[in-house]
Amino acid sequence: MNINKVSIEDIEIREKRVFIRVDFNVPLDTNGGPLIIADDTRIRSSLPTINYAIDQGAKVILCSHHGRPAGKPEPEHTLAPIAARLGRLLKKDVLFARDCVGQAVESLAATMAPGDVLLLENVRFHPGEVNNHESFAKALAAHADVYINDAFGTAHRDHASTTGITRFVQTTAMGFLLRKEIRYLESAIVSPTRPFVAILGGAKVSGKIGVIDNLGKTVDKVIIGGGMAFTFLKALGLEIGASMIEDDMVDRAREIHQHAIERGIKFYLPVDCVVATHQDADAETKIVPIQEIPNDWIGVDIGPASARLFEEAIENAKTILWNGPMGVFEIDAFSRGTFAVAHAVGHAYAMSIVGGGDTGLAVHRAHESENISFVSTGGGAALQFLEGHSLPGLAVLPDVSP
């Protein structure tokens, strides 16, 4: 694997309409009042590409989705508050279009001067985005002289704004964020500095099988936590109470564990866990060895002994890849294991790469973001890349000529 795509630096963009697909799918909170951005990491991550385009005298047109609206406008998914935040970060006015296609947008774009920035409304307010309709992709392309994909978080989607539009724009390239994401993840897969530790958590084994299989070629240690750990524990013959399990994955988990041992990979599973009567903040909880999970209780986090075991396994790592929390960290009582791993990764003398989504949020809440080498902005895209699969939004971009 050696991905070398044309980037925004390789093309002429001065005074051109540069259409940049960004990923502004940031968490928006509301308590009956206006929408408030809870975490603007993804917006900040896009700034190098946007600022470069501004400095080069381009007319910058930004396109993003937010949430999963059903192909129609939904007020809770508007990008209007994001336009305001982006303006503060750029220290300049950002124009905002109330749609992403149509005559009104084209008229607004026609008024732009070099260095101006226009953010289009949520592209998923139209069914043609997710369905990759040719007519919708062509309508988006009408705004563009140049197309730049800088949205790693949607690079695994075959949508109008990630793949369809490239059929109607002659000059295409990737932005700095997309390039950075690919280089970090590729370095972990192809040539990691050893020892290389992979930490995998989250709910389901089925969502991580491809990653485990692909990383099994290069990894030295695998640490398993989160809900998926209980499927592995069940595969080893342990009783797991009412904990989450994928019954159809038990045999596969047993094979994965056995193959890892045969290849000399050190394979770590929890030795204790936090269990609860139910998965809510007011539930009764206790810490038990994994052999003593009560019949009607649910495993919701790794326990303190597991946290110490995992910390010791991480301590001498030189490359760390982490995707998936150790428990239901969104609830304070069940967050200690995930935060302990976040602190261990943050303080390891290693190149550390954290997968997007929940893991990135966990690192942020643990106040360890600044101590991580790279926090990916894409959860699903990172998983697909780590499985060794092509990303549609990346595949359609041109390669650098030999």
Task: Write down the domain spans for the chain.
Answer: 8-179, 192-386
Terminal-residue alpha carbon distance, the chain: 16
The SS3 of residue 115 is coil
What 230-237 contacts at long range (C-beta under 8 Å, 24+ apart), as own/partner pairs, is 230/299, 231/204, 231/205, 232/205, 232/256, 232/257, 232/269, 233/269, 233/270, 233/290, 236/269
Q: Which region, left, alpha or beta, applies to residue 297 given φ > 0 means left and ψ of -120 to 50 means alpha?
A: beta
Q: Are 373 and 178 in contact (CB under 8 A)?
A: no
pTM reported for the whole predicted model: 0.86
Please give the Cα distance from 282 to 190 (Å, whole number): 45
204 tagged catalytic: yes
Question: 71, 87, 210, 380: which one is catalytic?
Answer: 380
The pLDDT assigned to 394 comes to 95
Is the pLDDT reported for residue 151 higher than 60? yes
**Nearest CA to 393 among 402, 383, 381?**
381
Question: 85, 138, 194, 204: which one is catalytic?
Answer: 204
The pLDDT assigned to 166 comes to 98
Backbone angles phi, psi at 319, to 5 degrees: -135, 130
The pLDDT assigned to 96 comes to 97
pLDDT digits (tens, 9 = 90+) for 380-400: 888 888 888 889 999 999 999
The pLDDT assigned to 32 comes to 65
Predicted confidence band of residue 1 (pLDDT cuts 50, 70, 90): low
Predicted confidence band of residue 377 (pLDDT cuts 50, 70, 90): confident
327 tagged catalytic: no
pLDDT digits (tens, 9 = 90+) for 191-227: 889 999 999 998 888 888 888 888 888 899 999 999 9
42 tagged catalytic: yes
Maximum Cα–Cα distance for the chain, whole Å? 68
For the chain, the C-alpha Rg in angstroms (whole number) is 22
pLDDT-above-70 percentage for the chain: 98
The pLDDT assigned to 105 comes to 94
**Nearest CA to 291 among 269, 268, 271?**
271
Question: 227, 357, 378, 379: which one is catalytic?
Answer: 357
Question: 16, 42, 179, 221: which one is catalytic?
Answer: 42
- In CATH, the number for domain 8-179 is 3.40.50.1260
CATH class for domain 192-386? alpha beta
357 tagged catalytic: yes
Alpha carbon of residue 16 to chain centroid: 30
